[in-house]
Amino acid sequence: MKTDARDRQRIEEAIARLAATRWPGAAIASVEAIAGDASSRRYVRCRLRGPSAPRAVVAMLMDSREVALSSEELGVFGESGPEEIPFVNVARYLSRFCRAIPEIYDVAADGTCILLEDVGDVSLWAEAGRVPADAELWFERALDLLAEIQRRARDDGTGCYAFHQAFDRRLFAWELDHFLEYGVRPLPEPLERECRRQLDGLAECLAGLDRVFCHRDYHAWNIHVQDGRLRLLDFQDALLGPAAYDAASLLTDRCTPSLVGLDRAAELFERFADRAGLGGRERAAFFDCALQRALKVIGRFHYLADCKGKPGYLSFLPDVVATAKAAAARSGRAGALGEVLENWLRGESETS
């Protein structure tokens, strides 16, 4: 996290106020930046002193209240945005039945700082890669957690934002347009027309599936392992979506197929589908969900490099492209899309 001395002082003062309110007598011993994946949020770990304070907490920092609100593409709250920070709203709902959610200790009045339980630095990806022979067991545990969430998450009328926004055709199409806009070189008009026709069909198919509570970014970098427990992060964009979507995200995101190949991923998904009680249409959507997500990620990683100054994610593109090609073939959606994936993608070094 790049901060000047004045910014660092402002941050530490804000954290100190929240900590002292939550734990009277608490004081900051040290502050260190920690990685925040592809988020626009920043994170620091704060070591605390004080008789009642935990040894460490994590502060989620936003430059403004607008950053704390939900992704603009969801667009369900109007110009004024939601009344409550979505991370806080969804965390309160999930924590009623899911022990994987970090505790929220306090929130700054202006919404730019949230004090969270420290769930450590070990991602599921890191833990699974430590002993590759055990990787599948960790992914099975994450699928079990997902099945539990899907079984128990129901709209109880308490205002959880996830039940008021959905992966509808508009949102699927927006993400697929992101792929064409940022991930693909200019196409010949006939090829672009046919590719768009295929992508429209994919969006329509996915939008027609039954919907369940969907994390939207359920992958091995947003799940941590702490003292043998799974801890879930980055759920602020939760919404209603296809039951296969989060499972496909977990099993195919980025370079995950290097640990769990697609054939084995499909078998693990069937086990998950049994536990979650999925029907035939939802089971058949696994590779469609994997394809849509891979295409979205190709566009997203180029967007992060082009527009957000974050080129590091481009190193994942060879794996993501390989997943997109395989998923397109397995879902019977190659055709013009296969031609685009084979010959018309932007390279890692190309800029828009």
At 189-227, the pLDDT tens digits run 999 999 999 999 999 999 999 999 999 999 999 999 999
pLDDT level of residue 35 (50, 70, 90 thresholds)? confident
Q: How far apart are CA 317 and CA 85, in angstroms?
A: 32
Do residues 207 and 168 share a domain?
yes
How many Cβ atoms are within 10 Å of 45's Cβ, its own excluded? 16
The domain of 274 spans 124-343
Same domain (yes/no): 141, 191: yes
Q: Domain holding 267: CATH number?
A: 3.90.1200.10
* Choice between 352 and 178, residue whose per-residue pLDDT is larger: 178
Tokens of 46: 């704060």
Give residue 1's pLDDT band: very low, low, confident or very high (50, 70, 90): very low
Query: What is the distance between the alpha carbons of residues 95 and 273, in angstroms, rounded to a whole number?
Result: 24
User: What is the Cα–Cα distance from 323 to 286, expressed in whole angstroms?
Assistant: 13
66: domain CATH number is 3.30.200
How many domains is the chain built from?
2
Closest CA to 117 of 26, 24, 53, 35: 53
299 and 337 in a single domain? The answer is: yes
Phi–psi pair at 166, nearest 5 degrees: -145, 155
User: Token pair of 318, please?
Assistant: 């060879």
For residue 77, pLDDT beyond 90: no
The whole-number pLDDT of residue 79 equals 62
pTM attached to this predicted model? 0.93
Show which of 91, 117, 143 is a domain's final residue. Answer: 117
Answer yes or no: do 161 and 308 share one domain. yes
Instruction: Say what the pLDDT of residue 63 is.
Output: 78
**Nearest to residue 294, comparing CAs of 229, 199, 228?**
199
d(CA 327, CA 252): 10
% of the chain exceeding 90 in pLDDT: 86
Output the pLDDT for position 3: 59
Other Cβ atoms closer than 10 A to 68: 27
- Please indicate, yes or no, whether residues 93 and 175 belong to a single structural domain of this protein: no
Q: What is the pLDDT of residues 44-59, one digit of tens each?
A: 999 999 999 999 999 9
- 37 and 148 both lie in a single domain: no
Please report, for residues 171, 195, 324, the alpha-carbon distance to residue 113 in angstroms, rounded to integers and kept in the order given. Answer: 29, 43, 37
Strands 104-107 and 229-232: unpaired
In a domain, 351, yes or no: no
Q: Decide: 205 and 253 in contact? Cβ < 8 Å.
A: no
Over residues 15-35, the mean pLDDT reads 94
Q: pLDDT for 170-198, tens place per residue? A: 999 999 999 999 999 999 999 999 999 99
What is the DSSP code string of 213-239? EE-S--STTSEEEETTEEEE---TT-E
| Least confident segment among 65-69, 254-258, 325-329 | 65-69
Residues 187 and 332 in one domain: yes
d(CA 100, CA 181): 36
Question: What pLDDT is recorded for position 72?
Answer: 58
pLDDT of 116 above 50: yes
For residue 296, what are the CA distances in angstroms to 50, 119, 180, 254, 291?
Answer: 46, 28, 9, 11, 9
CB 301 within 8 A of CB 314: yes
The reply to whether 165 and 38 lie within a common domain is no
Does one domain contain both 106 and 36? yes
